[in-house]
Amino acid sequence: MSLRSNDRQWGSIAKFFHWIIALAILGNGTFGLLMDLAHSPMQKINWLALHKSIGLTVLALVLLRVLWRWGDVRPREEPAPRWQQWAARCVHGTLYVLIVALPLSGWWYNSVTGKPLQWFKLFNLPALVAKNDELRGFTHAVHEYLFWFLLLVLVAHVGAALKHHLSDNDNVLRRMLPFARLRNGSTSEGERP
């Protein structure tokens, strides 16, 4: 498997970014929802610090992914109706915006609370804005609603990938899976109009 993408499939670096970001978002989102189950205030503080560090890591990874995409080729689209191609672009664009907005909104929320923001206890990051108790509830709600909206868009994304895989039997999902073999013919030369 090549590090770089080609006209048939995504390269291993693009796949790595895709799957590590997906796992980090789902894991950190679940972790965020379960934080109230902490047995002590200190455990909750430690869990919250870990949640913030993972969120900052997701932000860094998605920015690296965007930089990589600018220099990497994009596989050709599978033959599909124009509306499906448009919907796929909209969903992917929305995912990128939300994956950046979600950790930034958490950083914003942390900033208005006036608490320090550390990355895995290695270094502090600056506040995005000054402490503001009046914005605390609003910024937390923005962070939470962005998470739920991201989950909704992810359901559409995963649903479309499964539809392509199970119903259309094409390579849309296969070319992003780490070790999947492509089905012959669907993106080969001469089949595209």
The pTM of the full predicted model, rounded to 2 decimals, is 0.88
Which runs of E-coded beta strand occur in the chain?
117-119, 123-125
CB burial string 17-42: b at 16+ within 10 A, e below: beeebbebbeebbeebeeeeeeeeee
Could you give the 3-state DSSP secondary structure of residue 28? helix
What are 133-172's pLDDT values in tens digits?
999 999 999 999 999 999 999 999 999 999 999 998 899 9
Confidence at residue 152, expressed as pLDDT on a 0 to 100 scale:
97
For residue 71, give both structure tokens. 């220099």
Q: How far apart are CA 105 and CA 70, in angstroms?
A: 25
What are 52-64's pLDDT values in tens digits?
999 999 999 999 9
Confidence at residue 145, expressed as pLDDT on a 0 to 100 scale:
97
Confidence at residue 188, expressed as pLDDT on a 0 to 100 scale:
36
Low-confidence ranges of the chain (pLDDT < 50): 186-193
